Chain A
Amino acid sequence: MIKVTDLHKSFDDLDVLKGVNAEFEKGKTNLIIGQSGSGKTVFLKCLLGLLIPDSGSIEYNGKAYKHFSKDEKREISKQMGMVFQGGALFDSMTVEENVMFPLKMLTKMSKQEMKNRVEEVLDRVNLKETNHKLPSEISGGMQKRVSIARAIVNKPNFLFCDEPNSGLDPRTASVIDNLIQEITHENDITTVINTHDMNSVFEIGENIIYLEHGVKAWEGNKDNIYKTDNQKLIDFVYASNLFQKVRVAQREGL
């Protein structure tokens, strides 16, 4: 579980996060939504320890990150897996080497054990016979799945995803969403997903936080997002005509 209290972060004169409070539960897909520039990525980078907040606290399983010793910080980073927006796969490594990389760097597994674990996770993300291909030789959807495989190969307790289905067709995006949700439930891990995609919100949003101008403007789940009276959230979620029609249909019980 991750608990965020009164998180502030600014760059020069620009206040990006202005006192965000949030709780991300274990075994749930937690979504952060918001317009571009609302502070989602900065928030996620603070959770990952890539950015140091100006004030406030982030607790992982009940202990504040700022109170961690150096070893504890290193240990908690080993428990984190991250799926980057562009995949962030290492170009010069094959799919197998990419997925094996965290095991090679952070564990003392034998080569055979690593190979078995890599096979297992590649199988889990439905990627077979791509082991020896370079990232440039596979499709965008496959790259995202390799990225998920690399994020979960070390059995993390915390999984972070930055717009995992951006640039993918709706069908592949849905496959990726469901895969992340299944992995979250199977392994009982805390998953935080940063997304713009409303399909993801309605499919896997078990806990949704809406950020606006660096503050939490709404919190709920995919079921009560239909009933919200928060006008800004409504404007954001139902920006497309299709979703407006869905909302009307939902309200009218169709």
Chain B
Amino acid sequence: MKNNLILYIGILILGIAAPFIFPAFKVQLSILCVLIVLATTWNIQGGEMGYNSFGNILFYGLGMYLCASVQVGMFFPLAEWTESGGEKTFVHTPAQFFQGMAVGLIVAAVVPTIVAGLIGYSILGLRGHYFAICTLGLGVAAGEISGGIEIIGAGQGFTTPPFPDVGSLDSRGEFFYFLSFFVLVLTFVTVRSIYTTRFKLILNAIRDNEDKAEAMGIETMKYKIIGWMISAFFCGLAGGIMGGLVGYIDSTDVAFDGREMGVFMVLMAILGGKGTLWGPIIGATVFHIFKEGFWTFFLGWQYVALGVLIVVIVIYFPEGIMGWLREKYPERFGEVVDEKDRKAQVELK
């Protein structure tokens, strides 16, 4: 336990110091924080609950649009803003920008949570691949429909308010980094404290055998919905931050991007090892480094690489990094190993 505390403090200090150690990578580090948040929250119902969703992108995109719309709509007419493409006629003062961002992020977190609660009741009754395909359909439908709505920019996209001039040039990167890092810490603390309660055991029971869990008197539907709502809350926050960070929202290429973000969060969680606390974090970090390298050096071939990567990870590495480590060093995970028994099992394999 004491070791863990030192580890956490070390990571916290590293996280706070990171933008000053690597000043050129502030945007990348903020994206990494957002990716970790997405992977960790996907893991709540994908890994722990066994409900593999392709639809968390819905909350991410919703949060993105909501945050930007609120930020603009609080001070200027939204329709004129999208029509002008965020031109110089409307400029946020620093106070307006930060107020708008704060209110926008709250809305971006709360509304997806409510949406998750509402649709969760109908969708979480589906199981297995029906749930997966249904959520896939939901994500794509949201993208297609938001691409037809005029007030949020329809096909041309939506420019989020530019960062106001508050003195130094670096402040934009630092602001977004610390915002996303704060959300990351918030997510980690929440998820970690959830995982120490009975709630996690219930989620695992649902994953292992839902009928039996129900027969034992657990109201599975209630817990499934709560689990999904927690995911939606943080996905919405992450989306809101990402919208401000990218500076431009497009319905199918940025917000409801099932081909990129929607798959990334699944892939990161599986790469790291689903159903573990640290797995998604490690997976997201490894994936982000790999992705940035590939995106830079093999520009144009990145989706080919992504497709191959998905197939390879899924077929040859479904347990992920944490699963592999667990196989290799079971003692570290608090499992008591009987050496004779383990050898016998290895021989059996």
Query: A and B: partners?
Result: no
